[in-house]
């Protein structure tokens, strides 16, 4: 019996040793593969060249525009050239809102004494009358203060929303979330009290002269009750607020010519490498191809699109053959409708596709810091086991939280969704503004982000997310 126990003990010890040897081999293999990915991204990457073309040859890609269609054609052509297993366009109806001729605005402290201010129409806004809108101003810090003032103070006036982003929040997206409601719902709420227009302080942490656009909504307001909505730069907001303290009777004038047309057909651009052993398990990586029209959309979200394309290009570059199907999706119409993300999820459900993981890049092309995850706790625990692999690349942030707007509609109780989280301190300097241009993107930071995304996709594909 003693001999049998000794033999069994030896066998168990041997199995245990083999188990740890396999773990060590797997870790070494993963370390080497991540190094291959990063090396390829930094020496043979194409993301910067792709972004250069999107930004400088095509420009801003507002949904329904000629430039958006040019971006569809260009990215499909580039995906076709990569030798993927399949590339296709997924039709989707999108809104077509046109800004028109440049906006104009000033405030007037006494007859004939005016100061021009930088202003841009909010996406989806109606136009002013042809002669513009001019009235006294009511400054508020948010929707709650508007409700307190009520119609007696608001009717016939222009409402000036002037709640700044909170500079004490290190997470700048939290600061953005803390005040974006005044941009999105400001016109809808002010119209209920008889306002004739609204202007909003731009969602920007620094003081500059760039007004930032963005989506807004009228809710279920009838068309004849809708009022024009625009954003002014942060410098202009500071100056206007100071002027109002000295002279509450100051008047504001603005004129804009935007118009909403009937929906038009556009496309999500999709390419995939078919999985070798689990082809029915789909991993999605993507960004949104549309952008606002003021700049060329390099950070928001040209960077995310080219980084997502680069994931598949890097796998081709290093000769990695995925076990699961890896699919890149360049979504259309995230900025003013989310039609592309919703359509993709709808078609996936109709086809009963099994998406196990989704990763989105929509926070700019800055230095990657990590990821946020939305999914089962068991998947997050497994992913946390890979965190050490990213530390040599200074990627440390692995947290539960949101993922991305376009992949959000895929959410169910099984899938894990993730968002790339770059350093965000400069993001809102450019977000939805004229200065979101190619020159503001650093080549190395962009490439590091693509490599970080490809590395996470590789680990999910190789090891799966089942507990």
Residue 7 has pLDDT above 70, yes or no: no
Percent of the chain with pLDDT over 70: 94
Residue matched to tokens 């995304």: 453
pTM exceeds 0.95 for this model:
no
CA atoms within 13 A on the CB side of 10: 6
Supply the pLDDT for residue 318: 97
Q: How far apart are CA 357 and CA 298, in angstroms?
A: 26
Residue 15 has pLDDT above 50, yes or no: no
Supply the pLDDT for residue 17: 46
Question: SS3 string of 286-319?
Answer: EEECCCCCCCCCHHHHHHHHHHHHHHHHHHHHHC
Residue 358 has pLDDT above 50, yes or no: yes
19: pLDDT confidence band, cut at 50, 70 and 90? very low
Residues 160-168 have a mean pLDDT of: 97
Let me know: does 467 contact 336? Beta carbons within 8 Å.
no
Residue 22 has pLDDT above 60, yes or no: no
Supply the pLDDT for residue 9: 54
**pLDDT, tens digit, for every residue of 172-209?**
999 999 999 999 999 999 999 999 999 999 999 999 99
**pLDDT, tens digit, for every residue of 135-148?**
999 999 999 999 99
2: pLDDT confidence band, cut at 50, 70 and 90? very low
8: pLDDT confidence band, cut at 50, 70 and 90? low
Q: How far apart are CA 47 and CA 56, in angstroms?
A: 14
Q: How far apart are CA 53 and CA 416, in angstroms?
A: 32
**pLDDT, tens digit, for every residue of 283-314?**
999 999 999 999 999 999 999 999 999 999 99
Superfamily holding 34-96+263-463: Zn peptidases (3.40.630.10)
33: CB partners within 8 A, 6+ apart: 318, 320, 458, 462
192: CB partners within 8 A, 6+ apart: none
Nearest CA to 420 among 466, 359, 377?
359
Residue 453 has pLDDT above 70, yes or no: yes
Residue 244 has pLDDT above 50, yes or no: yes
Beta-strand relationship, 86-98 and 278-288: unpaired
Percent of the chain with pLDDT over 90: 94
Residue 107 has pLDDT above 70, yes or no: yes
Supply the pLDDT for residue 16: 46
Task: Single out the catalytic residue among 189, 334, 343, 434.
Answer: 334
Q: How far apart are CA 426 and CA 300, in angstroms?
A: 12
Residue matched to tokens 């003081």: 207
467: pLDDT confidence band, cut at 50, 70 and 90? low
Supply the pLDDT for residue 466: 77
10: pLDDT confidence band, cut at 50, 70 and 90? low
What's the chain's average pLDDT?
A: 95
334 belongs to the catalytic site: yes
Supply the pLDDT for residue 311: 98
Q: How far apart are CA 208 and CA 5, in angstroms?
A: 77
Residue 23 has pLDDT above 70, yes or no: no
Q: How far apart are CA 332 and CA 94, in angstroms?
A: 8
CA 40 → CA 45, 339, 426, distances in Å? 6, 34, 27
Buried b (16+ CB within 10 A) or exposed e, 327-356: bbbbbbbbbbbbbbbbbbbeebeeeebebb
Supply the pLDDT for residue 27: 72
Residue 257 has pLDDT above 80, yes or no: yes
Domain boundaries, the chain: 34-96+263-463, 100-257
Q: Choose the CATH number for 100-257 among 3.50.30.30, 3.40.720.10, 3.30.160.100, 1.10.10.10.
A: 3.50.30.30
Residue 1 has pLDDT above 90, yes or no: no
**Phi, psi (rounded to 5 degrees) for 201:** -65, 135
What is the separation of C-alpha 345 from the centre of its chain, rounded to a whole number of angstroms?
Answer: 17
Buried b (16+ CB within 10 A) or exposed e, 224-260: eebbbbbbbbbbbbeebeeebeeeeebbbbbbbebeb
């Amino acid at each position: 019996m003693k001999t049998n126990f000794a033999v069994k003990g030896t066998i168990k010890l041997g199995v245990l040793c083999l188990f740890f040897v396999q773990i060590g081999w797997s870790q070494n293999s993963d370390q080497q593969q991540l190094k291959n990915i990063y090396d390829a991204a930094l020496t043979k990457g194409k993301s910067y060249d792709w972004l250069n073309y999107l930004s400088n040859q095509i420009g801003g890609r507002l949904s329904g525009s000629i430039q958006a269609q040019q971006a569809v054609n260009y990215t499909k052509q580039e995906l076709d050239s990569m030798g993927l297993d399949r590339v296709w366009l997924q039709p989707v109806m999108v809104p077509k809102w046109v800004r028109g001729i440049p906006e104009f605005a000033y405030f007037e402290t006494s007859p004939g004494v005016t100061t021009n201010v930088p202003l841009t129409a909010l996406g989806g806004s109606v136009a002013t009358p042809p002669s513009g809108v001019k009235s006294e101003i009511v400054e508020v810090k948010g929707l709650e203060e508007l409700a307190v003032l009520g119609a007696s103070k608001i009717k016939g006036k222009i409402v000036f929303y002037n709640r700044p982003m909170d500079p004490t929040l290190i997470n700048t997206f939290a600061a953005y979330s803390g005040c974006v409601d005044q941009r999105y719902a400001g016109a809808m709420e002010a119209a209920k009290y008889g306002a004739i227009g609204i202007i909003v302080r731009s969602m920007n942490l620094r003081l500059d002269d760039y007004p930032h656009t963005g989506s807004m909504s009228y809710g279920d307001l009838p068309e004849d009750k809708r009022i024009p909505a625009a954003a002014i730069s942060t410098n202009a907001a500071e100056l206007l607020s100071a002027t109002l303290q000295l002279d509450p009777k100051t008047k504001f004038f603005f004129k804009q010519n935007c118009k909403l047309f009937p929906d038009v057909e556009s496309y999500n651009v999709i390419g995939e490498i078919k999985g070798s052993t689990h082809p029915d398990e789909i991993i999605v990586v993507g960004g949104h191809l549309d952008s606002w029209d003021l700049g060329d959309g390099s950070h928001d979200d040209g960077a995310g699109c080219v980084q997502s394309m680069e994931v598949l290009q890097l796998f081709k570059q290093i000769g990695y053959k995925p076990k699961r199907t890896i699919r890149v999706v360049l979504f259309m119409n995230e900025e003013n409708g989310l039609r592309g993300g919703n359509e993709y999820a709808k078609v996936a459900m109709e086809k009963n596709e099994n998406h196990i993981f989704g990763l989105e890049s929509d926070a700019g092309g800055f230095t990657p810091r990590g990821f946020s995850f939305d999914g089962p706790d068991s998947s997050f625990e497994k992913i946390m086991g890979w965190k050490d692999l990213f530390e040599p690349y200074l990627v440390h942030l692995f947290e539960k939280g949101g993922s991305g707007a376009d992949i959000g509609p895929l959410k169910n109780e099984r899938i894990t969704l993730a968002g790339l989280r770059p350093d965000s301190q400069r993001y809102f300097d450019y977000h939805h503004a004229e200065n979101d241009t190619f020159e503001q993107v650093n080549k190395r930071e962009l490439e590091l982000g693509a490599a970080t995304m490809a590395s996470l996709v590789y680990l999910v594909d190789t090891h799966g997310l089942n507990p």
